[in-house]
A and B are shown apart, each in its own frame.
Chain A
Amino acid sequence: MSDTLRQPAEITYADEIEALKATDDQPKPEGWELSPQAVITYLMGGKAGGTEISAKYVGNRRLIETAVATLATDRALLLLGVPGTAKSWVSEHLAAAISGKSTRVIQCTAGTDENQVRYSWNYAQLLAHGPSREALVPTPLFRAMEDGKLCRLEELTRMGSDVQDTLITVLSEKMLPIPELNDAVFATRGFNVIATANDRDKGVNELSAALKRRFNVVVLPLPDDMDEEIAIVSKRVGEMARSLDLPAPKNVAEEVTRLLAIFRELRSGETVDGKTTLKKPSGNLSTAEAIAVTIGGLSHAAFFNNGKLTADSLAPNVLGAIVKDPVQDKIVLEEYLETVLKKRRDYADYYHSLTELV
């Protein structure tokens, strides 16, 4: 048992990767540890010889197939989706299975500059010996090109557009010029990039068209299945409530079900029975947000409502999750309240508390 809080995927699942390697008889693209078929088995679950391979991604197999095929064509892969759709998780496991190493990561933020993407200089070396390869500090991208491995870019759209465009040459010519040395790094076979990005968020920098068309895009959707989502939310809420020392009232599961019903209807733009189409609010109402709303409600209940979790204690958070744009989203919510919730007897408390707040 190591002291490390969390090990990377290739260590946690080392035995599964080994088992797959042992049984893998399909042709492997150059620089790959596993064949594309084995990578898909690693992600979607299955069997390798006698070893059970756990499913890392629960969802549409086709998406993973497209993602793996993309990496096999030397085109870069962009995983797009709202927060909480397992983008980074999939990216980590793809890197672990294909390259055997998932730690070549650049975390893109608004503060990321070109030096963190391409290379930077060791100034002591630079001053002492002048520009040379020794004075160069390689980035994960640089190393991945040299080693012929996968490099992961997390939250690509969070870094500035000008910095993003540094990637264009890397992606199309598989080459990173070092003008200071009149030199360049040419990528070894097996190099590729997996980027993750969030398409419905505030404060992101749109990808330039030039960069966008160098990626194949796979959009990871929110969970299809209501029960699955309820299970995810209840589990996380339980864990978080324990760590925050919040008492969990008995009716949490029931409230989560009602809350998710509202979230899912607004998110999908139609009522559960499929009879009525609805407008969608600008927020994404993800699973992660449902968790946050429930935790907020629990906290309100614990401190201000004698530990009773009611529609009243949840409503302000629900409102905050739905109404991100004060005009457009308000219309959406009003419409939903008047045309859908008003007619549902079992949601009367939500209807009243939300109508009051709107």
Chain B
Amino acid sequence: MSAAVSYFGIRHHGPGSARRLLEALEDLRPSEVLVEGPADLSDLLPLLASPSMQPPVALLAYPKDTPERAVFWPFAEFSPEYQAVCWAVRNGVPVRFIDLPVSWSVSGGETEDPVAAPEGESSADGVTSEDEPEDQQAEDDDQTLRRDPIGALAETAGYEDGESWWQDVIEENPAPGPVFEAVSDAMSALRERETDLPKREAAREAHMRLEISKSAKTVEGAIAVVCGAWHVPALKAKHTAKDDRALLKGAPKTRISATWAPWTAPRLAFGSGYGAGVAAPGWCLHLWQTRDDEKTTRWVARIARALRAQGQVVSTASLIETERLAVTLASVRQRPQPGYEELRDAAISCLCFGNALIWATISSELLIGSETGLIPDDVPMAPLLEDLQRQQKKARLKPEALEKELSLDLRSESGLFRSTLLHRLSVLKVPWGTPLDPGRSRGTFRERWMLRWEPEYAVELVENLVFGATIEQAASGRIRSELQSCHALGPLADLVYGAMTAQLNDAAAEGVNLLGERAGQTSDCSELLTSLPALADILRYGAAREIDTVQLGSLFERIATQASLALPYAVRGLDKDASEAMRSQIQSADGAVKLLEDRPDLLKTWQDALQSIVSEPQANRLLSGLAARLLYEADVMSPDEAVELLTRMLSPGTEVSDAAAFFAGFLEGAGQRLLYDEGLRGCVDGWLVSLEEEAFTEYLPLFRRVFSQMDKAERKRLMDALFDTVRSGGTHLIAAPDSETRWPRHLEILTGILAGENHG
């Protein structure tokens, strides 16, 4: 060996080790930098240091024919790997990856659910999820330990945050010594009693050893190996090249495409499912960007800024107290300096008045952040476009610039496939197809679309890469992120509907859960009402789309019950605009409840609620009019009751404005009732006649609205019915003007017919 190899065991995405690594590289000035990462993607590395590349970004690799099995390697600004690559490029030092090629990662778990696979595999160092079923729990523990041994050590020591432990234990090591030596010692101790490694792990370490020794033979000068701390002892250990090669036998052959994709801070975090293994990217970024002696103060200041943005009053004096408390807490817990937990506890006590809920409102913004990465324009962003082409081919649809109408039958497999594709593209804001039937148009198995492709759609499509590598994943990712930022029930229900039509079942299920949560918290009746139509539509027509609607059904029942209970209270004390809005909401909710005929209990609850609006004297009269009509139309209120009610509501004791509102609620949009119902007509007539001229003129527009929806003949019949009170029994006929002259002739013919005469 002609070169000295230095091993830097780092903590993936650890700002502490990133800082130490940079210092070490400056000291060492290596001639080559080797980084843990897929060896066949080394060509993409120099791009990472491009000035227009802005982390967080992820290296994305996928088999050419199945992009949904994509694997991601995320890099944040504070990732030691990222800093090492940047350092190497800045200093003109060759840098390359040394881990197993991508094909090992993407072809490992054939049995796995294809959607879950990339998530499991996206951990920072490309550790794939093991799919050996036996002893899953132990397997999980082992895997956590391998992926973040420092985090695991910190947890054992009672820390919640691995970075604070790194600070306290590794950096403030009472026996001073080189940091990376200490880490390596710790790992050797951890791995001492290790039994057999899983095959993949052994192969990875063998591959790295071979690559390192290859470099050591060719490179003059020092070599820096940057890898997860866990691997250091294994890489240092002596193995013969022959044994290592034996471990690499049977490498899978898959054609791989790779590129860079923009990443986001929430996706770096554990919670979002793509976990890069960073609990709090916001905190890590803060540690990386802030000087050591300022980090406590600046973090407290950031907490204060976030709280102030939420409308909390936070004084500067309280910030001082917070920092003092954090320092004291650290000493009570016998730690050398306040870490993440001390600062959190102190902030809750001093700034949030002990109320952890206030902390919860700012924690995700602080801890996770909202950074989105940028990648240079010249990076190929192919996967989504490739996927689109593949789907277009399968759907036999060509992107054409000319408008073309397309009619789909959702019962056929190809129709459903095409419809799903178009819906997913709409979710991604690529409006290749526009639905022709306005509004919610399903009651049928048909869908009509207008297709037109614009070149800029390609650009819009690839911008969605941040949400996923295939159209399905991206659409699902996009809906999920929209769901998270959506707080009102109505829009949430619409999003769930969108997810259902686009066949994104995971996103839809998540949406249904969110709906359930949100519905439990809201007490706003109109918010509950607005979510009902979309849900009813999914339930009624969901069958066309092979959607499981059991959970949704019970959710619908729950929201409708809640709305029914809240309704009698919500119709009081409304002004004109609010009552108009509420009217249309009640009307569409009524339609929604009636649409689901198989739930008689629910209909009963709903109608009880309407009934209580009618009998509630403080209810807004427009709405009680509407409720009365809905009940009357549903045959719950008998015609006699309706007449009695209308008479009472329009009687002289009632304020004219109240009476007019009730009249509007009852009859607007349903003027025809007056034609057929003599009782109703009688009391409306009586009321109108009793109005003073001034009041009559005032409500003239209202009367016009009620009657304008009847056509001319109907209006005429109404007039006749009103003014011709003497005639009875089917005599709604009026004599023609010239009847007197024509009658003798008609009589003659009739007599002839009756006499048996054959008349032409």
Q: Which residues of A contact B (CB under 8 A)?
A: 36-37, 40, 62, 65-66, 68-70, 72-73, 75, 78, 80, 209, 212-213, 216-219, 269-270, 275-279, 327, 331, 334-335, 338-339
Q: How long is the Cα–Cα vector from A270 to B516 in the complex, in angstroms?
A: 11
- Does B318 interact with chain A (Cβ within 8 Å)? yes
Question: B568's closest neighbor in chain A, by CB?
Answer: A331
**What is the CA–CA distance of A36 and B349 in the complex, to the nearest angstrom?**
18
User: Contact: B328 with A72, CB < 8 Å?
Assistant: yes
Q: Establish whether residues A335 and B332, one from each chain, have CB atoms under 8 Å apart when the complex forms.
A: no
* Contacts from B to A (Cβ < 8 Å): 313, 315, 317-318, 321, 324-325, 328-329, 331-334, 341, 345-346, 348-350, 352-356, 516-521, 523, 558, 561-562, 565-566, 569, 605
Minimum distance in angstroms from B298 CB to a CB of chain A: 21
Closest chain A residue, CB of each to CB of B519: A277
Q: How far is the CB of B327 from chain A (nearest CB, A)?
A: 8
* Of A65, A78, A216, A335, most B-chain CB atoms within 10 Å: A216
CA distance A264 to B608 in the complex (A): 30
Q: Are B353 and A279 in contact (CB under 8 A)?
A: no
* A277 pairs with B516, CB closer than 8 A: yes
Q: Count A-B contacts at CB 8 Å.
A: 91
Chain B: CB-nearest residue to A62: B345
Contact of B558 among A37, A78, A276 (CB under 8 A): A276
Q: How far does the Cβ of B657 sit from chain A's closest Cβ, in whole Å? A: 26
- B516 in contact with A276 (CB, 8 Å): yes
CB <8 Å contact, B523 and A270? no
Are the CB atoms of A69 and B332 closer together than 8 Å?
A: yes
Q: A69 to B565, Cβ gap below 8 A?
A: no
B229, chain A: closest CB distance, angstroms:
29
Structural contact, A75 and B325, CB atoms closer than 8 A: yes
A73, A269, A278, A279: most-surrounded residue (chain B CB, <10 A): A73
Q: Which of B331, B333, B356, B520 contacts A277 (CB 8 A)?
A: B520
B558: chain A residues at CB < 8 Å are: 276, 339
Partner of B353, one of A72, A73, A212, A278: A212
Closest to A343 in B: B554
**Distance (whole angstroms) from the CB of A329 to the closest CB of chain B:** 12
**Which residues of the other chain, A, contact B523 by a CB distance below 8 angstroms?**
279, 331
- With A213-B317, A334-B565 as given contacts, are A73 and B349 in contact (CB-CB < 8 Å)? no
Contact among A37, A216, A278, A331 with B566 in the assembled complex (CB-CB below 8 Å): A331
Q: Which residues of B contact A70 (CB under 8 A)?
A: 325, 328, 349
Complex Cα distance A184/B394, Å?
Answer: 89
Residues of B within 8 A of A209 (CB): 313
Taking a contact as CB atoms under 8 Å apart, the answer to whether A217 and B349 are in contact is: yes
Determine the chain A residues whose CB is within 8 A of the CB of B328 once the complex forms. 69-70, 72-73
**Docked-complex contact B569 and A327, CB < 8 angstroms:** yes
> Given the complex of chains A and B, what is the CA–CA distance between A66 and B359 in angstroms?
16
Taking CB atoms, residues of chain B closer than 8 Å to A37 are: 332, 334
Which among A36, A75, A216 is the interface contact of B332 at CB below 8 angstroms? A36
Q: Which A residues are CB-close (under 8 A) to B350?
A: 216-217
Instruction: Give Cα A338–Cα B354 distance, bound, in whole angstroms.
Output: 35
Interchain residue pairs with CB less than 8 A apart (28):
A36-B331, A37-B332, A65-B332, A65-B333, A66-B348, A66-B349, A69-B329, A69-B331, A70-B328, A73-B324, A78-B354, A216-B325, A216-B354, A217-B349, A219-B355, A275-B516, A276-B516, A277-B517, A277-B518, A278-B520, A327-B569, A331-B523, A331-B569, A334-B565, A335-B565, A338-B565, A339-B561, A339-B562
Chain B residue with Cβ nearest A77: B349
Q: A40: which B residues are within 8 A, CB to CB?
A: 332
- Contacts A66-B346, A213-B317: A80 and B561 contacting too (C-beta < 8 A)? no
Nearest CB on B from A325, distance (A): 12
The docked-state distance in angstroms from the alpha carbon of A213 to that of B350 is 7
Residues of A within 8 Å of B565, CB to CB, are 331, 334-335, 338
Taking CB as reference atom, which chain B residue is nearest A27? B331
Contact B354 A217 (CB under 8 A): yes
Question: Given that A270-B520, A331-B523 are known contacts, is A73 also in contact with B325, CB under 8 Å in the complex?
Answer: yes
Bound-state CA distance A39–B523 (Å) is 45
A65: which B residues are within 8 A, CB to CB? 329, 332-333, 345
- A71 nearest in chain B by CB position: B328
With the chains together, A331 CA to B318 CA distance in Å?
40
Whole-angstrom distance between the Cβ of A63 and the nearest chain B Cβ = 9
CB neighbours (8 Å) of A218 from chain B are 349, 354
What 4 A-B pairs are tightest by C-beta distance, nearest first?
A277-B520, A217-B354, A219-B354, A69-B328
With a CB–CB cut-off of 8 A, which chain B residues contact A278? 520
**Judging by beta carbons under 8 Å apart, are B333 and A66 in contact?**
no
Contacts of B332 in A (CB 8 A): 36-37, 40, 65, 68-69, 72
Q: How far is the CA of A37 from the CA of B329 in the complex (A)?
A: 11
From A216, A269, A279, A327, give the contact of B349 (CB < 8 A).
A216
In the bound complex, CA of A335 to CA of B521 (Å): 12
Minimum Cβ distance to chain A for residue B560 (Å): 10
**Nearest CB of chain A from residue B601's CB, rounded to whole Å:** 10
